[in-house]
Amino acid sequence: MKWLRWFQDYAAHRDPRTALGNLVALLIVSNQPFYPLYVYWIAGSPAWVTLVSFLSTPFFFAVPAVARRNALAGRILLCVTGTLNTVLCVWAIGEPSGVALFYLPCILIGVLLFRQTELAAMAVCTGLPMLAFLVLNHKLGGPLHVFGAEQYSSLVTLHAVSVGSLIAFVGYKFSTEQKS
């Protein structure tokens, strides 16, 4: 359980919103290795296309370290990394996979992690995923592999459940932090 204590210490921050952002970043890092396995279970060997999602891992992992130096910069890094990771995955896996649903928690995080005094950061962090969805999604080219209709249906389910779980987690943690 030594690793769990390290994880908690690394995510900790005196500012509850920053601590939440740190926790979300590390939750994503801890789940990223399983993503290609889930897709492999659904689609078989074409799951290799999901390996591009690992390009974001160092940035998600760096969020708590950046936040120790500058809390606002750490929260912005989380939002930008989440959005760019979604853009990358939409390009690699394709829009029919439903992976673009991950823009939704990006928007939620962009709203919840910032205070009224940080409206410019909030605007950037909520606007970036909206802009990416509206402008980039249809112009990215790709995907690296075209899946079958049944595979896309299963991928949409996977992504919808993952997005719903992430939104519920963020909402729950935010609401419990605001009460304390």
* pLDDT recorded at residue 179: 54
Amino acid at 137: N
pLDDT given at position 101: 97
Residue 1: what pLDDT?
Answer: 77
**The pLDDT of residue 78 is above 90:** yes
pTM score, whole prediction:
0.93
pLDDT at 170 > cutoff 90: yes
Kindly report the length of the chain. 180
Percent of the chain with pLDDT over 90: 86
| pLDDT above 70 coverage of the chain, percent | 98
- pLDDT mean across residues, the chain: 94
Nearest alpha-carbon partner for 163 in 89, 103, 80, 87: 103
- Domain of 60 in residue numbering reads as 2-179
pLDDT band per the 50, 70, 90 thresholds, residue 6: confident
Does 14 have pLDDT greater than 70? yes
pLDDT, one tens digit per residue, over 29-43 is: 999 999 999 999 999
DSSP secondary structure code for residue 133 in this structure: I
Give 34: exposed, middle or buried? Use CB within 10 Å, 0-12, 13-18, 19+. exposed
What are the pLDDT digits (tens) for 55-75? 999 999 999 999 999 999 999
Is it the case that residue 95 has pLDDT exceeding 70?
yes
**Which has the higher per-residue pLDDT, 112 or 143?**
112
For the segment 165-180, the average pLDDT, to the nearest whole number, is: 86
Domain count, the chain: 1
pLDDT at 177 over 90: no
Tokens of 82: 């989440």
Q: To which residue do tokens 């939409």 refer?
A: 90
DSSP characters over 109-150 = HHHHT--GGGHHHHHHHHHHHHHIIIIITTTS---SSPPPHH
The per-residue pLDDT for 7 is: 84
Higher-confidence position of 2 and 36: 36
